[in-house]
């Protein structure tokens, strides 16, 4: 830990008072350097999406490593084209083109470059409490103070209300009235500003603590945006590939007005290999009139992992598993939470579940309680995450999508003890 602190940036946060070194994993479990075993309900930030050390992926990566790791996109690359074909088909976007990057940040950067070039506007609508990555442009559209180290930006960001259902001025309204109020607010905002290029939104806010609007909000926004020629970008970096159980993509909970113009992805598709990407309608993707390249984007070794992972995910219906096992886990956590005064809300869908903690009897965030639960869960053999916005703290629960019912039960029992211990 001393060596880490001496050489890494101060802002690179570590979990736990005594940070963990994870040395290996199998299925839904990981082991630390001292040989302790943990049930992993965070998957390296929703990135080990399928399972640790999945033999199908290990085999695909080893075989590809024995052939070639990388050639660049200057040459035809069969695994990249195959994965692009599959992602394009799955995206729901008509005449889709796919560009692979190495991270979610770079995927969103690309989507911002495309949208601002296509619409000739540097103005972007983003949601309050959002997070879209760490680059200079992504930070400029991040509506979460805790993840926004600078306000300097090449973009003009306009922050829209609606990503957090149970806080803010419209929290007391019914779902329909909440949506109507947010739509009115959006229309009002658009009346005051030069036309933005796009709205970018996470269907369920990840870093923000797994908060979301009522289903249908983004469809209602889409109608307003489409009338004005403004694009819709769905940031599926956390919500894609079936994690939410009910849908393959998070945007499908808002699908009444059709698919988004672009979607971005990363994290889970490589099950730990660095794959990100953007899917866009061809006219948008092809609007750049200069070369653009991501040297490592689409590199064979990562594409081999992505193909094996996607095949496994679809063949084993992990989306269905996320719906079933996630549904049981949500019920169980709600029952536990009802007896813990610190819990304000248990929310989420599929295997993307958030527990918001407040000081008992108030609506005030309680970061100390979140840290205490995290430590107690670890003591009990369970790894979870945390998140939140300027006035919230939440626990984040996002296990690999192959989670079994027995493991869900085991994790819920550890979490119950951890929550009771505060
Ligand atoms: C919704 C969302 N978008 C983008 C990113 C950035 O992805 P990366 O860290 O791979 O650059 C993240 C990372 O947490 C995210 O949660």
Q: Identify whether residues 34 and 82 lie together within a single domain.
A: no
Half-sphere exposure of 214 (CA within 13 A, CB side): 17
Q: Which atom of ligand 1 is nearest to the CA of 45?
A: 14
Select from 300, 315, 330 the last residue of a domain. 315
pLDDT at residue 418, rounded to an integer: 98
- pTM value is 0.98
Which pLDDT score, from 0 to 100, does residue 257 have?
86
Phi, psi of 188 (to 5 degrees): -60, -45
pLDDT, residue 390, reads 83
- In total, how many domains does the chain have? 2
Answer yes or no: do 352 and 363 share one domain: yes
pLDDT at 12: 95
Report CA(146)–ligand 1 centroid distance (Å): 14
Its domain, for residue 83, covers 60-315
Do 352 and 243 form a contact (C-beta atoms < 8 A)?
Answer: yes
Answer yes or no: do 94 and 139 share one domain: yes
Among residues 285, 315, 345, which one ends one of the domains?
315
Same domain, yes or no, for 322 and 230? Answer: no
Q: Is residue 105 located within the same domain as residue 72?
A: yes
300-315 vs 318-337: helix crossing angle, rounded to 10: 70
How far is C-alpha 111 from the chain's CA centre? 16
Q: What is the pLDDT of residue 17?
A: 96
**The pLDDT of residue 34:** 97
Testing ligand 1's pocket by substitution, the residue of 250, 266, 294 carrying the most ligand atoms inside 8 A of its CB is 266
Whichever domain contains 122, its CATH number is 3.40.640.10
Distances (CA, A) of 14 to 9, 246, 271: 11, 32, 21
Distance CA 79, CA 191 (A): 46
The string over 138-157, giving b where at least 16 C-beta atoms fall within 10 Å of a residue's C-beta and e elsewhere, is: bbbbbbbeebbeeeebebbb
Quick one: pLDDT at residue 391? 86
CATH of the domain at 39: 3.90.1150.10
From CA 383, how far away is CA 393, in angstroms rounded? 17
pLDDT tens for the chain, 422 residues long, are 999 999 999 999 999 999 999 999 999 999 999 999 999 999 999 999 999 999 999 999 999 999 999 999 999 999 999 999 999 999 999 999 999 999 999 999 999 999 999 999 999 999 999 999 999 999 999 999 999 999 999 999 999 999 999 999 999 999 999 999 999 999 999 999 999 999 999 999 999 999 999 999 999 999 999 999 999 999 999 999 999 999 999 999 998 889 999 999 999 999 999 999 999 999 999 999 999 999 999 999 999 999 999 999 999 999 999 999 999 999 999 999 999 999 999 999 999 999 999 999 899 999 999 999 999 999 999 999 999 988 889 999 999 999 999 999 999 999 999 999 98
Centre of ligand 1 from the C-alpha of residue 199, in Å: 17
- Residue that is last in its domain, among 275, 295, 315: 315
On whether both 268 and 340 belong to a single domain, the answer is no
Cα 383 to Cα 330: distance, rounded to the nearest angstrom: 17
Residues touching ligand 1 (Cβ under 6 Å) are: 45, 103-105, 108, 131-133, 202, 206-207, 235, 237-238, 266, 276
Residue 308 sits in the same domain as residue 326 = no
Q: Clarify whether residues 250 and 397 are in a common domain.
A: no
Say whether both 152 and 221 belong to one domain.
yes
Q: Which atom of ligand 1 is nearest to the CA of 206?
A: 16
Question: Do 37 and 20 contact (CB within 8 A), yes or no?
Answer: no
Residues 275 and 361 in one domain: no
Q: Whose CA is nearest to atom 3 of ligand 1?
A: 132
336 CA from centroid of ligand 1 (Å)? 30
């Amino acid at each position: 830990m001393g060596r880490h602190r001496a050489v890494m940036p101060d802002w690179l946060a570590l979990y736990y008072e005594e940070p963990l070194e994870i040395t290996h994993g199998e299925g839904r479990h990981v082991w630390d350097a001292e040989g302790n075993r943990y049930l992993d309900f965070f998957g390296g930030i929703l990135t080990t999406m399928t399972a640790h050390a999945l033999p199908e992926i290990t085999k695909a990566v080893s075989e590809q490593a024995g052939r070639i790791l990388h050639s660049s996109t200057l040459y035809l690359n069969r695994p990249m084209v195959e994965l692009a074909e599959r992602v394009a088909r799955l995206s729901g976007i008509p005449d889709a083109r796919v560009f692979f990057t190495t991270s979610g940040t770079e995927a969103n950067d690309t989507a911002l470059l495309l949208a601002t070039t296509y619409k000739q506007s540097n103005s972007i609508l983003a949601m309050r409490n959002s997070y879209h990555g760490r680059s200079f442009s992504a930070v400029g559209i991040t509506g979460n103070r805790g993840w926004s180290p600078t306000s300097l930006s090449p973009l003009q960001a306009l922050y829209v209300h609606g990503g957090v259902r149970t806080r803010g001025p419209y929290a007391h309204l019914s779902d329909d009235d909440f949506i109507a109020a947010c739509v009115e607010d959006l229309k009002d905002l658009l009346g005051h500003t030069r036309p933005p290029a796009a709205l970018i939104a996470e269907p369920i806010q990840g870093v923000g603590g797994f908060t979301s609007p009522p289903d249908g909000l983004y469809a209602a926004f889409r109608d307003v945006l489409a009338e004005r020629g403004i694009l819709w970008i769905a940031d599926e970096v956390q919500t894609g590939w079936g994690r939410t159980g009910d849908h393959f993509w998070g945007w499908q909970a808002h699908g009444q007005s059709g698919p988004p113009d672009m979607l971005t992805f990363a994290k889970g598709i490589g099950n730990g290999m660095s794959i990100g990407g953007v899917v866009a309608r061809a006219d948008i993707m092809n609007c750049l009139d200069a070369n653009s390249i991501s040297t490592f984007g689409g590199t064979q070794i990562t594409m081999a992992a992505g193909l094996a992972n996607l095949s496994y995910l679809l063949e084993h219906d992990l989306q269905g598993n996320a719906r079933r096992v996630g549904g049981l886990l949500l019920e169980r956590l709600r029952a536990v939470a009802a007896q813990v005064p610190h819990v304000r809300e248990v929310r989420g869908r599929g295997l993307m579940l958030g527990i918001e903690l407040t000081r008992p009897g108030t609506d005030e965030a309680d970061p100390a309680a979140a840290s205490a639960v995290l430590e107690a869960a670890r003591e009990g053999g369970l790894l979870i995450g945390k998140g939140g916005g300027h006035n919230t703290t939440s626990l984040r629960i996002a296990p690999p999508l192959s989670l079994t019912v027995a493991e869900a039960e085991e994790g819920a029992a550890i979490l119950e003890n951890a929550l009771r211990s505060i």
